[in-house]
Chains A and B, each alone.
Chain A
């Protein structure tokens, strides 16, 4: 299965602009970002404050997952973002049970009146819900530096045993993959928000994969491929394309090829950054989930090919709505129309000789004022 993206460079760069617009619609707003940062820093201060039972363990709180990589997506059909954090503590993991660690953490959080009202306890994390449509999920973790930089042990899903993890190294690995392209990337370890102009194509691609996953699996959430698997597969198969459209095409192609090479046996996706072997594709032990994933990749590839050959806003919009849902797509397309209106308002809108294409370039045929009339 080979996806050939239409070679027309101007079409591609315009399509990229739309795809990047969709990513912008999906991610946290800069205001939400600043607020989230303030809130988690405040939690961090509270945890290490004098008198805290956690203070002796030097708690360090940091974003993990999509937030740390700058690829946060708004969940489908909801307004509230999940923002994930790790709170790393210098406690030897063998001296405490996972459940006790979460309880200890909860105890300290509850000592703060404001947090008590916002707090919910999950199996292995503490959730703090805030106005402005986001909540922070904080997982307490034990440092395990003996194994190397960034290695931690976190409670497993049910907080019954320990699980090795390495969020920091994963982010480093991911960012390195993203920097293959010549597009600029900030070297910040925690790029809380990147403007899209400098957002690497890989990051946009992951956002789009995750969003299409949310749309395609909306009625079978428990079979959907998990985010870290998608992010890892995207990073592995990304080949430095500068165009988001081409990056997605290349990644789809790469995944499809490795599925084919595996001849029916389940694709193994290991955490590339964990010093301990970590199979990220645990969900695929359920054969049905893996089958659905394979079918999904094939359909995604087909839609992407159609998109590359689409003609006209209505067809492009129809395909993008199938892929990423109505709202972000139409919002971005409406913005295009508003933008044309704005340029027209400044008197700088013209058309190119020959094709009649609208442009704000100098030397174009100026469009005089008109009033569309009739019914």
Chain B
């Protein structure tokens, strides 16, 4: 499992109705995009981080760990915005602050995405998309195969390194990928045979019903979102 997935499955907000978590996280995500980055994005970032840390009680270390990787990518992306292709190669732009706005917006949006990802397991979200049953099955099968394959890949990498395999060479990586794909397909085939042997014809859906959202909490979330938007307008 990935760190995000583990927290989402075991977290305090796991059993809360999806509509409440989605309204909060996607509402903050929309605000991050719509509000002016200063002070809007800063308020959204604070609200999303607070909801995850204080509300859902995500361990601070885990939240920072999950936030660090995308933040590093955003920083690299922002660096690309402060340089320009001048007459003598790359040069700094006249106004380096132009990069701060998209970076702030992206950081706030990432915090909102994390709020959803850390409180709601991905299959719950896939189910809420109401895809055609064939595609929903496909997405759920993909999700279920992920973790087994990741473990297999790690074991194969360890085995390759233990045999002094050229870790990092294209040939080694290619052999790993080539060994993994037949294993993945074979696992799928065995599972299919197993299902067929049990005369399975239905869907792979195994999720329990989601609890109904509470109108009071939905209203409270809407008020919170309005407060963030109002606070941003006021501070500006």
B is a partner of A: no
By a beta-carbon cutoff of 8 Å, the part of chain A in contact with chain B is none
By a beta-carbon cutoff of 8 Å, the part of chain B in contact with chain A is none
